[in-house]
C-alpha cells in the first residue's frame, strides 16, 4: 500500500512513475469504498483521480495553489493532503466535508460548492501574488459543465489580458450534472475530436494560450504536460479529456444518475437503501401546465432533475421547445423567462434557492422592473432545504420578498403548492415566485384560496390570546404547538399562514388586535430582514406584543433541521414558554 | 426635412437610399441639439444613428423586435418610432426617458438600463415566438463593452445551440464607458483589422454564425447587410464597426469624457454649466490606502470614474497592478476581491449599488462564506443615489445587512466615511461593506469611532422621550428634526446613528427603555426588510413604541429625493406629528 504512507503532497512528489500509477489505483479504490458506504459525488471524483495525483506530484501545494471549482471533485485531493483516513476508515468519515473547506486544511484555499467561481478566485490570488512579489503557481481546475456560467467567462476574459502565471485546467468529461447545453459544447467536442486542433476555439478567441491533452487518465502524460505548464509566465488553458465516473462501468455508462449517489453495492451499482422515492409533485404540476396551456415553457439551469424531468421525457419536451435547459446559467434563464412572459406565453423558471442568488439582478432588472408575469420556483430554501454552508439558502425571503412588483408565495401543503402554481401560471398581472416546500405534506382538503387577493393571509385555526404566524414549511409545526397549548396551557390560540411573504395582511393584523395580546412569528430562514420583522414593524406602535423567531445569522452547515430550529427557539417547549410568560398564564 | 414626416417606422421603410442618408443626418442633428441642451448619453447615441435608420428601414418594428442592450443608445430609435418631438422640441423633452421604456411605446419591449441583458431577453422572445408558431425577426443590439458581462456570454452560449432566427448585432466601437478590459477586446480588434477574417473568433468558438461589416456608418452597406440577415433561420452575430461619438470631433476624440455629458456648447464641446466639481473623497481615501499599504489593490467593474480614477493616474495604477478594471464583470470582481483578501493583501471593490445586485451570490458564496476580509464600497444606493428605475438601488440593506460574516457600515459624514474606510482596509477579521454617502457632508470633527466594537451605535444627541435612529444619509435631517422638536414641541429628543446596519446595539436599545417611550427609525431604502424592521423586531415584546419610516416598495423613477422622502413620511412635519401623537404632548 502506497496510499497509507501519504500524509501530504511531499510524500507524493517522492514517488516514481510506477508508484504514482499504483497510488492512483489505490486512491480510486478508497474512493469507491467510501462512496459505496456513505454516498457522495461519484462521477466527478472518479474522473479526476489521475489528474489529482499528477497535480500533487508536479506542483508544491500549498505554496502552489490548487483551486477546485465547485469542489465536489476534491476527495482525491483531500486524500493526498493529510485526510486519507476519512476515505479508508469508517470511523473517520465524519472528519471531512464533501467540499474543499478552509477549516480542514491549508491545502483548501476556499470553501465552495457553487460552480464557475474558480478562475475568478485564482485570478484574485494571482494578482495578490504579483503585488506581493512572489512567484508560485496558481491553478484553477474547472469542469466543462461549469464553463456555461457567466462568472467563469468573466474571469476567462480578464485572464485574456492578464500577463503572469495562471494555469486553468479544463477538466472536460463532456458532462454537466445532466447533459451539457450550449454552443460551447459542440466546439469542445470538436476540440476533443481534433486533439485540440480545431480552429473554432473559444479560449483563443479570448486571447488565451491553449494546450490539449487527450489522455486524462494517463499519469505519465499528465505529469509531462503539467510540467510543461508549471511556472509558465502567462495564463494558459490546459484542456484535459477525462471520463466522468471512470473505473465503475455503470457510472461511466450512466453519468447523470451517477453524478451523485447514496450508498451502493460496488458489484452492480444497486442501491443499498433501495430505490429512492422521488416526489413527483413539481413534475406533475408542470405536466398539468403543459396540458392546459399549449405554449407554456419551463426553464432549468442545469438542474432539470430538481423538477423531476429525466431521460426520454425530458429529451422529448426539450425537442418540442417546451422544456429549456440553458446550462449552469441562471442569469440567462431568468432574463429568458422575462422575455418569454413579455412575449405573452407562460414561462416558468425553477432552480434551487441557493443558485437563484446568482440572478438577483436579473430578477430585479430584467423580470420585475418589466413586471413580466413569469413564475419562479424557489427550490429547497431555508432550514428544510439544503444543509451545507456551501449551498446557503437562508436569505430567500430577504431576496424575494422586497423586490417591487414581485409576489412571493409560500405554500404550506402539497395542495397549496398545486393551487399557487396554477394561480401563478394562469395570471398575467405580475411575476410570482413560489417558495416550494421541500417535503409535500398533504393537508387532505382542496385549496380554495383566491390568490388574486394579494397579501390575504389564511387563518388555519382561530383562537384568541396568542397567534402564531408561521411561514409555509412551519405551519404543521405551528398547528402542533396550538394543540399543545390547549392541552398544557388550556388556551386555544390562533395559527395563521401568511401565504404571501411579499406583503402583510393589514386587515387581519388589525382584527387580531381585538382579542390577541401576542403574535409569534416563525420562519425557517434568517430572522434578520425576514418575514417576522415585517409583522413587528407593523405592530410597532400598538400594544400588541410580537416575538420573532427565525434562524440565527450564520453559515450553518451539516445541520439537522429539527435541532437547528430548536436551537433557534422554534420548538413547542420554547413557544409555550413564550406564550405562558407573555400572557401571564 | 424628412425627420418631421416620420411618425413611425413605416414612414422610414418608404424612403429611398438618398432620403435615408438625409434622415440619418437630420437624426444626428436632432440628437446633437437635444444632447447639447439637456445632456445625456452622447457617444453611444451618436454611434448608432445610421445603424438605427437602417434597422428601421429593413425590419418591421414592432412585429420584428429590436431589443437594445443597456438602451442608452436608443434616442434615434425613439425618434423614428413616434417620439421625434422629444428631440426637436424643448417643450417635449420630458416626454421620454433616456432608456427604452415599455410605458412609452410598443416599439420598446423592455425597460432596461443594465448591460449584457439583451441577448437573453431576445432568446426568451425567440423561444416564445417559436412555440407560438410565429416567424418574425428577433434582433438584439449589443455594444462591445457589454460583451464582458457574464449574462451576455451565458446567452451567447445558449444561442450557440439554438436553431431558429436570432440576430445579434454587435455594435463595436471599441469602447466601454472607459477603455475595454479583457482578452476579448484584443481579438475584436484583430477581427476589425482583418475585416472579420481572423481565426481567433470567440463567436465561432461558441458555435455561432458570424458576419462582419466594417462601414457601420454607411447606410447603404448597412441596409444591404441587414437584408442578408433578415429572416435568417439560425442565430447569427453581425459584427458592425462603428465610432462612438460619431459626428462631433471632440466626442470622437475623447470617448470616455463624452460617454455622457451635461448640456454643452456644440461649437467646442465646452460645458454650459461650467466644469463639474468632482468630489474626490473616495479617490483620496484610496490614495491614502495606497500610501500606507504597499500591496493594497482596488478593483472596479468598468466604472473607475465612480472612484475618481481617470486618465494617466488610472493608467499608472493599472500598470502597477494596484488598480484592476475587470470590465463590466461584477461577478468576477467580487470573487477576485475574495481571492486577494484570502491571499493576505488588502482588497477593495467599489461599484454602484445597482450593479452590485449582479454579484449577490459571489458576495455570499465567494466572499462571506470564506470570511475574506475585503472591503466593498457600495456607491449611490438608496433615495440619495440613482434616480432612475432602470438603476434601482433601494434594496441594498436587504442585500448587504443579512449575509453572515459581513459587516455593513453606514457612515453619515465625510469624516465617518474616511474612518470607516480606514478601519475596513486595516482589519483582517471579516468582509466589510460600506454604504458610501452620495454627498459627503462634513461634521467638522474627527471620527474617533472604534469600529472594532461591532454593532456599537453612536449617540449623536442625547435626549429623552423619543429617539430617532436614522441610517447614515439621514442623520443631518434627523438632527434638524431634533432642533425643531426643541423649538416646536419643547422636548429634547435623542438621535442615534446606528453605524452598523448588519446588527443592532442591544445595550443601547435596552438603555433607551429607561427614559424613552418612542423610537422612530428612518432609512432611505425600501422599508420592508430594511433596517428599521430589525429595531421593531427587537422591541416587539416591550412597551417601547416603534415607528418605522422608509421608502415604499415601488420602482420609483426620475424622482426628486426630498419629495420622495416627504411622500414616505420622512419629513420634519410628519415626524413631529408622530412624536406629538405618541408622546401625547
Please tell me the predicted confidence (pLDDT) of residue B516: 98
Nearest CA in chain A to B581: A541
The nearest CA of chain A is from the CA of B293 a distance in Å of: 11
Q: Which residue, among A361, A392, A542, would best test binding to B if mutated, counting the most B CBs under 10 Å from its CB? A: A361
**Contacting residues of B for A130, CB less than 8 Å apart:** 321
- Torsion angle defined by CA atoms of residues B117, B121, B123 and B126, in that order, rounded to the nearest 10 degrees: -160
In whole angstroms, what separates CA A129 from the centre of its chain?
A: 31
Give B336: exposed, middle or buried? Use CB within 10 Å, 0-12, 13-18, 19+: buried
Please tell me the predicted confidence (pLDDT) of residue B55: 98
Q: What is the pLDDT of residues A5-19, one digit of tens each?
A: 999 999 999 999 999
Q: What is the DSSP letter of A235?
A: E
Dist. CA B70–CA B72, nearest whole Å = 6
Dist. CA B422–CA B429, nearest whole Å = 14
SS3 assignment, position B271: strand
Neighbours of A519 (CB within 10 A): 27
**Contacting residues of B for A161, CB less than 8 Å apart:** 181-183, 185-186
Rounded to an integer, the average pLDDT of A162-182 is 94
A277: pLDDT strictly greater than 80: no
Residue A27's pLDDT band (boundaries 50, 70, 90)? very high
Dist. CA A374–CA B492, nearest whole Å = 51
Q: Which residue, among B345, B363, B529, would best test binding to A if mutated, counting the most A CBs under 10 Å from its CB? A: B529
Which residue in A204, A337, A545 is closest to B124 by CB distance?
Answer: A337
Could you tell me the end-to-end alpha-carbon distance of chain B, in angstroms, rounded to an integer?
69
Phi and psi, residue B61, nearest 5° = -75, 140
A348: pLDDT strictly greater than 80: yes
Rounded to an integer, the average pLDDT of A424-450 is 96
Which residue in B127, B149, B529 is closest to A324 by CB distance?
Answer: B127
Hey, what's the cell of A373?
A: 408575469
A275: pLDDT strictly greater than 80: no
DSSP A70-121: SSTT-HHHHHHTT-THHHH-GGGGGGS-SS--TTT-TT------SSS-HHHH
| Cβ contacts of A555 within 8 Å, gap of 6 or more | A389, A392, B368, B369, B404, B405
Please tell me the predicted confidence (pLDDT) of residue A89: 97
Hey, what's the cell of A13?
A: 512528489
Contact B582, B545 (CB under 8 A): yes
Q: What is the pLDDT of residues B50-89, one digit of tens each?
A: 999 999 999 999 999 999 999 999 999 999 999 999 999 9
Please tell me the predicted confidence (pLDDT) of residue B177: 87
Dist. CA A498–CA A507, nearest whole Å = 12
Over its C-alpha atoms, chain B yields an Rg (Å, rounded) of 26
Strand order across the B545-551 sheet? B458-461, B494-497, B465-470, B516-526, B545-551
List, by residue range, all CATH 3.40.50.970 domains of chain B: 3-261, 281-435
Q: What is the pLDDT of residues B161-206, one digit of tens each?
A: 999 999 999 999 999 888 999 999 999 999 999 999 999 999 999 9
Contact B337, A123 (CB under 8 A): no
**Contacting residues of B for A329, CB less than 8 Å apart:** 154-155, 157-158
Interchain proximity A360–B365, CB inside 8 Å: no
Dist. CA B112–CA B121, nearest whole Å = 11
SS3 assignment, position B567: helix
**Contacting residues of B for A347, CB less than 8 Å apart:** 124, 128
Residue A177's pLDDT band (boundaries 50, 70, 90)? confident
Please tell me the predicted confidence (pLDDT) of residue A274: 80
Locus of grid cell 479570448: A206
Interchain proximity A182–B160, CB inside 8 Å: yes
Dist. CA B261–CA B552, nearest whole Å = 31
Please tell me the predicted confidence (pLDDT) of residue A176: 86
Characterise A153 by phi-psi region: left (phi > 0), alpha (psi -120 to 50), beta (else).
Answer: alpha
Dist. CA A585–CA B185, nearest whole Å = 72
Please tell me the predicted confidence (pLDDT) of residue A11: 98
Dist. CA B120–CA A338, nearest whole Å = 9
**Contacting residues of B for A390, CB less than 8 Å apart:** 365, 369
**Contacting residues of B for A181, CB less than 8 Å apart:** 158, 161
Contact A424, A432 (CB under 8 A): yes
Size (chain A), residues: 585
| Cβ contacts of B262 within 8 Å, gap of 6 or more | B39, B271, B272, B273, B276
The hierarchical CATH code for the domain A3-261 is 3.40.50.970
Please tell me the predicted confidence (pLDDT) of residue B544: 97
Residue A81's pLDDT band (boundaries 50, 70, 90)? very high
SS3 assignment, position B469: strand
Secondary structure of A504-541 in HEC code, one letter for each residue: CCHHHHHHHHHHEEEEEEEEEEECCCCHHHHHHHHHHH
- Which CATH fold would you assign to the domain B281-435? Rossmann fold (3.40.50)
Which residue in A102, A336, A532 is closest to B537 by CB distance?
Answer: A532
Nearest CA in chain B to A204: B200
Please tell me the predicted confidence (pLDDT) of residue B481: 98
A273: pLDDT strictly greater than 90: no
Could you tell me the end-to-end alpha-carbon distance of chain A, in angstroms, rounded to an integer?
68
Q: Which of A328, A346, A211 is nearest to A290 (CA)?
A: A346
Hey, what's the cell of A32?
A: 469507491
Neighbours of B439 (CB within 10 A): 10
Please tell me the predicted confidence (pLDDT) of residue A585: 85
Interchain proximity A361–B114, CB inside 8 Å: yes
CATH of A458-582, one of 3.40.50.920, 1.10.357.10, 3.40.50.720, 1.10.3720.10: 3.40.50.920
Which residue in A154, A327, A342 is closest to B332 by CB distance?
Answer: A154
List, by residue range, all CATH 3.40.50.920 domains of chain A: 458-582
Neighbours of A437 (CB within 10 A): 26
Where do the DSSP E strands lie in A268-396?
297-300, 323-325, 347-352, 375-379
Q: Which of A549, A553, A552 is nearest to A579 (CA)?
A: A549
Share of chain A above pLDDT 90, in %: 97
Indicate the pairing of strand B458-461 with strand B494-497: antiparallel
Hey, what's the cell of A541?
A: 406602535
Q: Which residues of chain B have pLDDT under 50?
A: none
Q: Which of A546, A341, A299 is nearest to B158 (CA)?
A: A299
Hey, what's the cell of B132?
A: 407560438
Dist. CA B161–CA A148, nearest whole Å = 12
Contact B161, A182 (CB under 8 A): yes
Contact A529, B398 (CB under 8 A): yes
H or E stretch including A351?
A: strand A347-352
Hey, what's the cell of B541?
A: 415584546
Dist. CA A87–CA A74, nearest whole Å = 12
Q: What is the pLDDT of residues B381-410, one digit of tens each?
A: 999 999 999 999 999 999 999 999 999 999
**Contacting residues of A for B110, CB less than 8 Å apart:** 338, 342, 366, 370
Which residue in A156, A203, A401 is closest to B529 by CB distance?
Answer: A401
Amino acid at each position: 500500500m502506497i496510499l497509507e504512507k501519504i500524509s501530504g503532497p511531499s510524500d507524493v512528489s517522492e514517488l516514481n512513475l510506477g508508484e504514482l500509477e499504483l497510488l492512483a489505483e489505490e486512491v480510486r479504490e478508497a474512493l469507491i469504498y467510501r462512496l459505496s458506504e456513505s454516498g457522495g459525488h461519484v462521477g466527478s471524483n472518479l474522473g479526476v483521480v489521475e489528474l489529482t495525483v499528477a497535480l500533487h506530484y508536479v506542483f508544491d501545494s500549498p505554496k502552489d495553489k490548487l483551486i477546485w471549482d465547485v469542489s465536489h471533485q476534491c476527495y482525491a485531493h483531500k486524500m493526498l493532503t493529510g485526510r486519507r483516513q476519512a476515505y479508508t476508515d469508517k470511523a473517520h468519515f465524519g472528519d471531512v466535508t464533501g467540499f474543499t473547506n478552509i477549516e480542514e486544511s491549508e491545502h483548501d484555499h476556499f470553501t465552495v460548492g457553487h460552480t464557475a467561481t474558480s478562475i475568478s478566485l485564482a485570478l484574485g490570488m494571482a494578482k495578490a501574488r504579483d503585488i506581493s512579489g512572489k512567484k508560485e503557481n496558481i491553478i484553477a481546475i474547472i469542469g466543462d459543465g461549469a464553463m456555461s456560467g457567466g462568472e467563469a467567462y468573466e474571469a476567462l476574459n480578464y485572464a485574456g489580458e492578464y500577463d503572469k502565471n495562471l494555469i486553468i485546467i479544463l477538466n472536460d468529461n463532456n458532462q454537466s450534472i445532466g447533459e451539457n447545453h450550449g454552443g460551447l459544447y459542440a466546439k469542445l467536442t470538436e476540440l476533443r475530436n481534433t486533439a485540440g486542433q480545431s480552429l473554432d476555439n473559444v479560449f483563443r478567441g479570448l486571447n488565451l494560450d491553449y494546450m490539449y491533452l487527450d489522455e486524462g487518465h494517463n499519469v505519465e502524460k499528465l505529469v509531462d504536460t503539467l510540467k510543461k505548464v508549471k511556472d509558465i509566465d502567462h495564463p494558459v488553458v490546459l484542456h484535459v479529456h477525462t471520463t466522468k465516473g471512470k473505473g465503475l462501468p455503470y457510472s461511466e455508462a450512466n453519468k447523470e444518475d451517477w453524478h451523485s449517489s447514496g450508498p451502493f453495492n460496488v458489484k452492480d451499482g444497486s442501491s443499498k437503501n433501495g430505490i429512492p422515492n422521488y416526489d413527483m409533485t413539481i413534475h406533475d404540476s408542470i405536466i398539468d401546465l403543459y396540458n392546459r396551456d399549449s405554449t407554456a415553457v419551463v426553464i432549468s439551469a442545469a438542474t432539470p432533475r430538481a423538477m423531476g424531468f429525466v431521460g426520454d421525457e425530458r429529451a422529448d419536451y426539450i425537442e418540442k421547445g417546451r422544456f429549456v435547459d440553458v446550462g449552469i446559467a441562471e442569469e440567462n434563464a431568468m432574463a429568458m423567462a422575462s422575455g418569454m412572459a413579455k412575449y405573452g406565453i407562460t414561462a416558468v423558471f425553477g432552480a434551487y434557492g441557493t443558485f437563484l442568488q446568482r440572478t438577483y439582478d436579473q430578477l430585479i432588472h430584467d423580470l420585475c422592473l418589466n413586471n413580466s408575469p413569469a413564475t419562479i420556483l424557489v427550490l429547497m430554501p431555508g432550514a428544510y432545504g439544503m444543509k451545507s454552508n456551501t449551498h446557503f439558502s437562508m436569505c430567500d425571503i430577504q431576496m424575494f420578498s422586497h423586490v417591487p412588483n414581485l409576489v412571493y408565495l409560500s405554500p404550506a401543503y402539497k395542495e397549496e403548492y398545486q393551487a399557487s402554481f396554477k394561480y401563478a401560471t394562469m395570471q398575467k398581472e405580475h411575476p410570482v415566485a413560489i417558495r416550494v416546500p421541500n417535503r409535500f405534506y398533504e393537508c387532505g382538503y382542496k385549496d380554495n384560496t383566491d390568490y388574486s387577493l394579494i397579501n390575504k393571509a389564511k387563518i388555519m385555526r382561530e383562537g384568541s390570546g396568542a397567534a402564531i404566524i408561521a411561514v409555509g414549511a412551519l405551519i404543521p409545526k405551528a398547528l402542533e404547538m396550538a394543540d399543545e397549548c390547549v392541552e398544557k396551557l388550556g388556551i386555544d390560540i390562533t395559527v395563521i399562514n401568511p401565504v404571501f411573504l411579499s406583503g402583510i395582511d393589514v386587515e387581519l393584523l388589525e382584527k387580531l388586535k381585538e382579542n390577541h395580546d401576542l403574535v409569534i412569528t416563525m420562519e425557517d430562514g434568517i430572522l434578520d430582514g425576514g418575514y417576522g420583522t415585517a409583522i413587528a414593524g407593523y405592530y410597532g406602535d400598538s400594544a400588541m406584543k410580537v416575538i420573532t423567531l427565525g434562524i440565527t445569522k450564520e453559515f450553518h452547515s451539516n445541520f439537522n433541521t429539527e435541532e437547528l430550529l430548536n436551537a433557534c427557539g422554534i420548538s413547542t417547549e420554547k413557544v409555550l414558554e413564550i406564550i405562558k410568560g407573555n400572557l401571564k398564564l
